[in-house]
């Protein structure tokens, strides 16, 4: 498989800049270079392209502050007159996490910061994802032993749902979670040896379970 070409996105206005900040998935670092031809430094568009090529999880932006549009964007974002400037962002945050100015914009230093922030972003994304998985896994495990359903907070309360939907008190108890595909039908059915059970599927809705008793 051919390697993916490194991409450095040229940005010249605030709307596009904010759009580019919102594009990357969690775990990605956004590195933005503000430069101008009259402010030569050790880090420019060429070095930014090298950074993009060597970092899979870094989304690279380039802003030419030597143009009228680029200068206006730089001023809007609060940059001073000293260039180049490299800013790092950790989406979904829209404010920069780290800023390097002038002589501090060294290719090796920038690559080091990009790698460190990339690990931080990936760790945060993994922790957030793992936390959600643990909650869902635990909730579904409870349904296997006749526990409450997987719906969160007040939605897990069958009494609250009964009032909201207009059912009578004795109509919605154990059937509520099962109708949402969140319960264990075999626990509620209390099947005895030799009895047969027709599974209507999780999409049947709790109305089918209630109607079955009438």
Q: Which of 44-48, 96-100, 112-116, 163-167 has the lowest mean pLDDT?
A: 163-167
What does the pLDDT average to over 37-56? 86
Task: Report the range out of 91-95, 102-106, 186-190 with the highest average pLDDT.
Answer: 102-106
- Comparing CA positions, the residue from 174, 171, 169, 207 lying closest to residue 190 is 174
Q: Which of 32-46, 59-73, 156-170, 177-191 has the lowest mean pLDDT?
A: 177-191
Domains of the chain (ranges; CATH) run 8-126 (3.40.30.10), 148-211 (no CATH)
Q: Which of 37-41, 113-117, 124-128 has the lowest mean pLDDT?
A: 124-128
**Which pLDDT value is given to residue 32?**
94
């Amino acid at each position: 498989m051919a390697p993916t070409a490194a991409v450095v996105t040229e940005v010249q206005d605030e709307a596009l800049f904010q759009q580019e900040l919102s594009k990357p998935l969690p775990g990605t670092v956004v590195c933005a270079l503000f430069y101008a031809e009259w402010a030569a430094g050790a880090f420019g568009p060429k070095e930014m392209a090298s950074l993009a090529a060597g970092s899979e999880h870094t989304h690279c932006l380039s802003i030419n502050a030597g143009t009228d549009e680029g200068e206006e964007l730089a001023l809007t974002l609060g940059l001073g007159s000293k260039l180049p400037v490299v800013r790092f962002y950790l989406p979904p945050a829209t404010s920069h996490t780290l800023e390097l100015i002038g002589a501090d914009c060294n290719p090796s230093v920038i690559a080091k910061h990009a790698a460190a922030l990339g690990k931080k972003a990936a760790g945060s994304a993994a922790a957030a994802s793992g936390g959600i998985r643990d909650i869902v896994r635990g909730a579904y495990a409870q349904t296997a032993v006749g526990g409450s359903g997987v719906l969160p907070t007040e939605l897990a309360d069958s009494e609250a749902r009964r009032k909201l939907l207009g059912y009578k008190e004795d109509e919605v108890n154990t059937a509520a979670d099962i109708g949402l595909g969140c319960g264990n039908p075999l626990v509620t059915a209390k099947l005895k040896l030799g009895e047969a059970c027709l599974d209507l599927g999780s999409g049947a809705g709790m109305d089918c379970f209630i109607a079955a008793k009438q």
